[in-house]
Every structure is written in C-alpha cells, then in structure tokens.
C-alpha cells in the first residue's frame, strides 16, 4: 500500500509546475519508493521549480516506419539484440514511440509490446514494457500492481478503462483512517494552478494553520494538514514549509504527531515538495542498496523521470552519495542491464562525472 502511495506522490508532485511546462510536454509523472527513516535525518534543501531537463530527447530525424522495420529485423535475427531495440526506443520521446508502435502494428497486424514481450525476458523486458506505455498507462498499471489505486484525472480514467474498476473505490477498499483520507485527497488532485503572484499572506496563514493543527494543540487535526498539503501548489508549499521553520522543524512536527504509514507518507510528501530531484535521487539509491536490488523500483524511476528531470537528479545523487549515478548502476547491477539503464536513461553527457 505504501508503494501505491509513492506512485501517487510522484504524480502529485508532477501535475503542475515544471512537469507540465513547455519544456517537456510529452511526459507527465514519475514513481517512487518508501522514504525510509534512515534517510529522514538528511538535510533537505528547499529548491524552486526548475526547467524540465530530461536525458531522453526527441529524435530530429524520426521515421516511425524505419523504426518498425528495424525492430522487426532485430527480433527476427537469431539471438535478439536487446541493446539495439532499447537504443532505438530510448532515442525517441514517448510520443514518437507511440507512433513507432502504431507503424509496427500497421505493418505486422500485431502489438509491438506483445511481440517484444515474447522476444525479450527479465530486466530488458521490464524496461521496454515501461517505454512503450504512455505515462498515464504506466502510472495506471503501476498503481494496480502496487495497491491498486490513485492518480491524476487522466490516470484515473485510464485506470478505469484498463481495469474496469473505479480508482477511488479501490483506494477506499484497501486503506483506512487518515492514511486513506490522504490517499483519496492526492488521487483527486485538487491542487491550485501555479500563478505568477506570490500570496505572502496566504503563506503565513498556511504555515500558522499547519502549526495550529499539530504541535500547538493536543492531538492533531490531520484533515487540516491534508488539506494544506494537497490543495496548494508545490511552489506555494515550499514557501509555507520555509516559513514554518519559525514555529518548528516540519519533519520533527510530523514525527511527534503521527506514526506508521501516515508518518512515512507525510515525510515522503514534504521531502518531495521541498526538493523533488533529491527525493528521486534517494529513491534510486535505496533501490540499489540493502538486500537485493529493487529492480522494479529502479526501472520505474528511470523510465518515468527520463523525459522530465533526470539531468536534475544526477547532480543531486552525486552531491549526496559521493559518486555518480552511472558508477552506482555499473557497480550494483549485472549483465546487459547496467548498459541498458545507463545508455537509455542517464544520458550521454559526462557519464562518469555526473
């Protein structure tokens, strides 16, 4: 259930601001893993929304028919060349991949995803499957697998179309208490749109209300916290938490007032609001450390952030963990898998340095 919350959180932090800016129109959300308490002690730096700098760029000489023909030849070759297939698909933006998949279907009368699933296996199959989904389809399938539930309005409609069930109903069936209220609120995505005017009076009021609903009183007005954290823009909330420092550290307030899944969820939410790139850098790191690589988590982040802000995540990763993301992937994954991840999602510039 917490993993479903993390998919939702990625969507929530990407439904306005830089994820919808003109710099990256073809990509929507991301995914995440649980923000572990071992990471909770790290310093969180508040950053303002930046331009979307993904590592995957649109192909300037794109030809969907050429892609379909070359993928067909590669599949028919004895010993499928997984790296070639991945290189073709990852040198295209998602919208171009959809065109290539349509050209393949026109050519062969079959679905490209199904054909590649039969030809590939293991990690390459997981990567390719993620690449061939639209962002909303990918979110919906990850939500179904991890919970089942949550998403933006688009994700909700795709979820219902794919699984013949209502998103919010699944959330209610699988969760309870204040954690359920938070999940439902995030799934509805009622956040205000980012504007050019900074409302300092509202920032002060929200910071005070957050304090008054928690540390200042006996007991916690969790619905008030949820309302503040899910209905305002990310840029507004960054300023609210910066202002809140004059009352109490936000992380300490959450730890004092709530426990369990709700505590972990709110800690994730605050960190993602304050520094999204660092949040995903942490998620990538913890997917590769510990007992066994959490491959699904790693692939989910790499696929979903590749067109959004991977080139923001890379320097945050190196700044915190001392070595490049490229280095960690090469050290902690095996076979063709690390080359596929690095060439496909990290980007060609300065691999070793960032």
Residue 295 pLDDT: 85
Residue 56 pLDDT: 82
Residue 291 pLDDT: 60
Tell me the residue range of the domain where 113 lies.
Answer: 65-132
Instruction: Confirm whether 230 is domain-assigned.
Output: no
> Of 192, 272, 188, whose CA–CA distance to 232 is shortest?
192
Instruction: Confirm whether 307 is domain-assigned.
Output: no
Output the CA torsion 103→108→111→112 (10° steps).
-70
Instruction: Confirm whether 114 is domain-assigned.
Output: yes
Instruction: Confirm whether 57 is domain-assigned.
Output: no
- Give the Å distances, CA to CA, from 110 to 102, 103, 107, 130: 10, 10, 8, 18
Residue 32 falls in which region: left (phi positive, over 0), alpha (psi -120 to 50) or beta: beta
Angle made by CA atoms 77, 83, 88, in degrees to the nearest 5: 90
Query: DSSP characters for 319-334?
Result: HHHSS-HHHHHHHH--
Each residue's pLDDT tens digit in the chain (354 positions)? 556 666 667 666 665 444 333 334 333 333 333 333 333 333 333 333 445 577 888 889 999 999 999 999 888 877 777 778 878 888 899 999 999 999 999 999 999 998 988 888 888 888 888 889 998 888 877 777 665 433 444 444 555 555 546 767 778 888 889 999 998 888 776 666 676 788 999 999 999 999 999 988 888 999 999 999 999 988 999 999 999 999 988 888 999 999 998 999 999 899 999 999 999 999 999 998 866 568 888 988 898 898 889 999 999 999 999 999 999 998 888 877 787 888 778 765 445 566
- Give the Å distances, CA to CA, from 352 to 314, 323, 330: 11, 9, 11
pTM, two decimals, is 0.79
Residue 353 pLDDT: 61
Q: In the chain, how many domains are there?
A: 1
Which residues neighbour 88 within 8 Å (Cβ) at sequence distance 6 or greater? 67, 70, 71, 74, 100
Residue 125 pLDDT: 86
Instruction: Confirm whether 95 is domain-assigned.
Output: yes
CATH code, domain carrying 111: 1.10.220.10
Residue 189 falls in which region: left (phi positive, over 0), alpha (psi -120 to 50) or beta: left
Enter the tokens of residue 295: 């491959």
Instruction: Confirm whether 6 is domain-assigned.
Output: no
Instruction: Confirm whether 241 is domain-assigned.
Output: no
What is the distance between the alpha carbons of residues 352 and 326, in angstroms, rounded to a whole number?
6
Instruction: Confirm whether 74 is domain-assigned.
Output: yes
Residue 66 pLDDT: 95
């Amino acid at each position: 259930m917490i993993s479903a919350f993390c998919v939702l959180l990625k969507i929530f932090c990407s439904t306005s601001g830089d994820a919808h800016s003109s710099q990256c129109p073809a990509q929507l959300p991301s995914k995440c893993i649980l923000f572990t308490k071992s990471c909770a002690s790290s310093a969180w730096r508040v950053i303002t929304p930046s331009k979307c700098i993904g590592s995957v760029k649109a192909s300037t000489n794109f030809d969907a028919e050429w892609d379909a023909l070359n993928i067909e030849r590669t599949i028919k070759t004895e010993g499928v060349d997984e790296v070639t297939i991945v290189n073709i698909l990852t040198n295209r933006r998602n919208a171009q991949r959809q065109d290539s998949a349509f050209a393949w279907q026109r050519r062969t009368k079959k679905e490209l995803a199904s054909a590649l699933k039969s030809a590939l296996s293991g990690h390459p199959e997981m990567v390719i499957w993620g690449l061939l989904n639209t962002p909303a389809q990918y979110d919906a399938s990850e939500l179904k697998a991890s919970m089942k539930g949550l998403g933006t309005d688009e994700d909700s409609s795709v979820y219902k179309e794919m699984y013949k069930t209502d998103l919010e109903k699944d959330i209610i069936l699988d969760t309870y208490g204040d954690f359920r209220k938070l999940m439902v609120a995030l799934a509805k995505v009622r956040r205000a749109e980012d504007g050019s005017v900074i409302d300092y009076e509202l920032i002060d009021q929200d910071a005070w209300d957050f304090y008054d609903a928690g540390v200042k009183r006996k007991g916690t007005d969790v619905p008030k916290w949820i309302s503040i954290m899910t209905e305002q823009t990310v840029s507004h909330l960054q300023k609210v938490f910066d202002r809140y420092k004059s009352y109490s550290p936000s992380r300490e307030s959450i730890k004092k007032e709530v426990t369990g899944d709700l505590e972990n969820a709110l800690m994730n939410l605050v960190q993602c609001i304050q520094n999204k790139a660092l949040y995903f850098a942490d998620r990538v790191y913890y997917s590769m450390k510990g007992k066994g690589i959490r491959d699904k988590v790693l692939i989910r982040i790499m696929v979903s952030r590749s067109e959004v802000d991977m080139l923001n995540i890379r320097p945050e990763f190196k700044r915190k963990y001392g070595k490049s993301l490229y280095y960690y992937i090469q050290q902690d994954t095996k076979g063709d898998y690390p080359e596929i991840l690095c060439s496909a999602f990290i980007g060609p510039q300065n691999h070793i340095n960032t």
